[in-house]
Chains A and B, each alone.
Chain A
């Protein structure tokens, strides 16, 4: 609502709001020196001057919501931690960014890891934790290197360790590399994995706030959520609330990818639209038009060009029938076969299903069989209803959200592109040429 008058101005200077990404292009942007030149660790000083309870209330008042997909209010998560219970409390940062299309936390940590570390210290002060963990997916060694370096710098500078900035706060921070499993992005599977087990989700309740890591009260937050906290402290909750809408305040990273002229990261107030992002960045690749896109990764129901003006905030995307998710805007043009795209995503879910619950384990397997047949021209019309039926038996009936995610592309693609499935069946094969979808398809020079 707040932004409505401004959105008429289409200049990127108006529409974008680089905060976390504001100095990513500076030399050694990942280092403590550069971070401190940009108000680094100022938010921590302000936080330490408050009482932990006031700090939690402050973050709650800012309206910050989780940036990992679910959009749960961050301050409320912190508030759920029981105090005075005599147990250790833990903060676990979910840096297992693996949702197809999602690519915001990895560049953030590569270019500006100290924003996360500062946020971690603030959060641990609030929830009275003296040991935090960063669970980083293992497949990103360049990011792991910079996290190792940044944590070591922070210890040396007294932002981690004993009696931080003379406040009496002691905090150990452990960087933990995962070993390749999408399911570990699910918070309870992540906790099992961090405990040295197979990454399988836990039954809830009890929720991690009560019985999380080592059965102790635990906050699990996404990287971007925690990294956003220092700026809120430094510049104030009013500043934060001045961006976005009443229910979705603040700034966030949007990741544009696929058949667009300029894929990349765009940090903007919540509520920007894909049309605005495309207009400012050069649109789709020349000569092509948008066919379908995901608002927040492959687990969020896909959109089409009818949805270009949907405000990309939690409520706006929800009202249009999808989810904001991770703001991973994967854009596909008219050269892309929807059946191929959905088949590949479904193969991913089948591969990554942890096997704990039957609907997801068996359902994703059979979805893949049907989709492969359809893509190969061996499907029959009744397969389409069967796809819907199987997806319906996974959705909401699985142990965790991975199953729901697997059903999303099936439901949404059948809703918008049923005809294209039918073409594969009646035409006995795929009518698309994959060569036309490649990044180099329209380049003038011949690819050897």
Chain B
């Protein structure tokens, strides 16, 4: 008998054998990384979450070998490590694709179209929730609120933001991913693979040139209030009444570098308006 009971799908009550260790060269490389991670914390066990990200960056998911590695370097039992690895949703427990496409289907995104996007992607890719396309490129799943509700509906790919999606844009995006065409998020850096993303999550900065700068500053929705506060044209159809404004506000004195048409213009500081809520306190009345 060469096949184990678990491989034949029959449980004979025998516990699973310990996971095989990483090959020596892999183990040595990961141990170097692990030492760096552990050094960040006063107590080594705090390194467990980043270490699980690290082993995920090695194999694309958290394997029994990876968990054994974490247990070894932290002097924990594999049971203790497994308990943690199975608690958090970002740790995958089976082989998955290079690109994890997560459609937000929490209430707001779902209502705004996330449900439709998720349904159409499932049909388009021929996979269900948590499944991977045959080419191993795309793993589709639905995710919970990702703190980008003002950009709804939101799709995350390898945890980079794809804002204001539609079924058509999401389908085109996964087609590009499968065809190997470069895909850039609306907020975030050009996509790297899931494994490379996991390494950043383990606390190793993204060294690609331009990765930090990619996609520029805040997204458009993040700037809506700022622009209104500066008196720039509202993005919507509304014409704003300006009645009742104090005289000193009606006379606008643009600074030499200010261009009202430019989004890059330096902001008008509140200091120029004593009555402004953010202005100097001494001028404020009751």
Distance A196 CA – B229 CA, assembled complex (angstroms) = 43
Residue of A nearest to B152 (CB): A257
CB-CB < 8 A to A98: which residues of B?
Answer: 144-145, 147
Binds A, one of B6-14, B26-34, B126-134, B211-219: B211-219
Task: For residue A264, give the distance in angstroms from its CB to the closest CB of chain B.
Answer: 3
8 Å CB contact of A152 from B205, B244, B245: B205
Distance A364 CA – B70 CA, assembled complex (angstroms) = 33
User: Which chain A residues numbered 81 to 121 have a C-beta less than 8 Å away from chain B?
Assistant: 88, 97-103, 105-107, 110-111
Main secondary structure of the interface of B (DSSP, over half): loop
CB-CB < 8 A to A19: which residues of B?
Answer: 278
Q: Are A197 and B84 CB-contacts (below 8 A) given A100-B145, A107-B218, A264-B225?
A: yes
8 Å CB contact of A141 from B45, B115, B201: B201
CB-CB < 8 A to A17: which residues of B?
Answer: 229, 270, 276-278
Q: How large is the interface on A (under 10, 10 to 19, 20 to 34, 35 or more residues)?
A: 35 or more
CB-CB < 8 A to A26: which residues of B?
Answer: 217, 264, 266-267
CB-CB < 8 A to A243: which residues of B?
Answer: 277-278
CB-CB < 8 A to A351: which residues of B?
Answer: 144
Task: For residue B54, give the distance in angstroms from its CB to the closest CB of chain A.
Answer: 11
Q: Is the CB of B205 within 8 A of A267?
A: no
Q: Is the CB of A330 within 8 A of B149?
A: yes
Task: Please tell me if A131 contacts chain B, counting CB pairs below 8 Å.
Answer: yes
Q: How large is the interface on B (under 10, 10 to 19, 20 to 34, 35 or more residues)?
A: 35 or more
Distance A176 CA – B53 CA, assembled complex (angstroms) = 11
Q: Is the CB of B53 within 8 A of A138?
A: yes
- Per-position 1/0 for A253-294, Cβ under 8 A of B: 011111101111111110000000001111100100000000
Q: Is the CB of A28 within 8 A of B146?
A: no
Residue of B nearest to A184 (CB): B88
Task: Please tell me if A381 contacts chain B, counting CB pairs below 8 Å.
Answer: no
CB-CB < 8 A to A236: which residues of B?
Answer: 281
Report the number of A-B residue pairs with Cβ-Cβ less than 8 Å.
369
Q: Is the CB of B166 within 8 A of A440?
A: yes
CB-CB < 8 A to B245: which residues of A?
Answer: 9, 11, 14
Q: Are A179 and B197 CB-contacts (below 8 A) given A110-B187, A437-B112?
A: no
8 Å CB contact of B113 from A106, A242, A280, A439: A439
* Interface pairs (25), CB distance under 8 Å: A3-B277, A5-B286, A6-B277, A12-B234, A28-B217, A30-B212, A98-B145, A100-B144, A110-B187, A110-B218, A138-B90, A141-B189, A177-B201, A179-B91, A257-B150, A263-B150, A264-B220, A265-B150, A332-B108, A348-B144, A352-B144, A434-B116, A438-B112, A438-B116, A439-B164
**Interface residues, chain A, with chain B CB atoms under 8 Å away:** 1-3, 5-6, 8-19, 21-30, 88, 97-103, 105-107, 110-111, 131, 137-142, 144-146, 148-149, 152, 174-182, 193-199, 214, 235-236, 238-243, 251, 254-259, 261-269, 279-283, 286, 298, 328, 330, 332, 336, 340-341, 344-345, 348, 351-352, 354, 434-435, 437-440, 447-448
